[in-house]
Amino acid sequence: MICFTMPDRTVDLNADMGEGCGNDATLAGLVTSANVACGFHAGDPMTMRATVDAAVRAGIAVGAHPGYPDPRGFGRRDLAASPAEITADVLYQIGALQAVCHAAGTRVRYVKAHGALYNRAAKDVAAAKAIAEAVRLADASLVLLCLAGSLMIDVARDAGLVVAREAFADRAYTADGSLVSRTVAGSVLTDPAIVASRAVRMMTTGEVETHDGATIRLHADSLCVHGDTPGALEIVRAVRRALGERGITLRPFANA
């Protein structure tokens, strides 16, 4: 249906929150969108409420961050879930966060799958369709945040959903535009200056250097910095500063 497009020189800055990292209150004041864990890969009802409350106080957008039911593996192990199971699990998690948001006087504005489920949906049509179906059933007006350049974008569009494209400033890329496995050394970037430089390049040239030194193109409506990355707060501050120095405005994509 729609591929969301942010205004020129404007981007959303999102972070995964409610995952027990202990920095959510501060992080909420630095990003423009909060991907809130919904209790399956991380989080619990009390954490969800506290995270949403922090997002409301900071005036940022709230998104559901559903994952596999795998707290032990933090949702980063690829489980053999069927499409029907994925739809049910994602629908359940969105619904839980919708109730928490309603109680806090706000609402869920978008959905971003977590970890192994996100990576699977970027390449697996059946998984992408299952997530899109869950979003449609929960609230067809929700934006689905997808890996920039992935097949999930076309699948979500075909399902009639609004789509936004995401890039990762703190993760290494392969030549096909997917994320390098976390089992590979250097897959997660923790130097604030390097992450900030990558964010600026993504937004000013539409390019990113891959893990093997090549260059690929991407278009992003939202940049992600993981809340559980070591030194996440310093990284986000560096990204904000670097983007601001280049005249790039931060704004929630789901409110645009």
| pLDDT tens, N- to C-terminus, the chain (256 residues) | 345 566 678 999 999 999 999 999 999 999 999 999 999 999 999 999 999 999 999 999 999 999 999 999 999 999 999 999 999 999 999 999 999 999 999 999 999 999 999 999 999 999 999 999 999 999 999 999 999 999 999 999 999 999 999 999 999 999 999 999 999 999 999 999 999 999 999 999 999 999 999 999 999 999 999 988 889 999 999 999 999 999 999 999 997 5
Do residues 40 and 64 touch, judged by C-beta distance below 8 A?
no
The residues with which 173 forms a beta bridge, in sequence order, are 179
Structure tokens at 187: 């897959």
Residue 186 and residue 110: Cα distance in Å, rounded? 30
> Amino acid identity, residue 226?
H
Q: pTM higher than 0.85 for the full model?
A: yes
DSSP calls for 169-238: TTB-B-TTSPBPPTTSTTSB---HHHHHHHHHHHHHHSEEE-TTS-EEE---SEEE--TTSTTHHHHHHH
How do strand 33-37 and strand 162-168 relate by DSSP bridges?
unpaired
CA distance 176 to 18: 31
Structural domains in the chain?
A: 2-255 (3.20.20.370)
Q: Which amino acid is at 128?
A: A
CA dihedral 216, 11, 95, 76 (to 10 degrees): 40
Do residues 238 and 35 touch, judged by C-beta distance below 8 A?
A: no
Identify the pLDDT of residue 230. Answer: 86
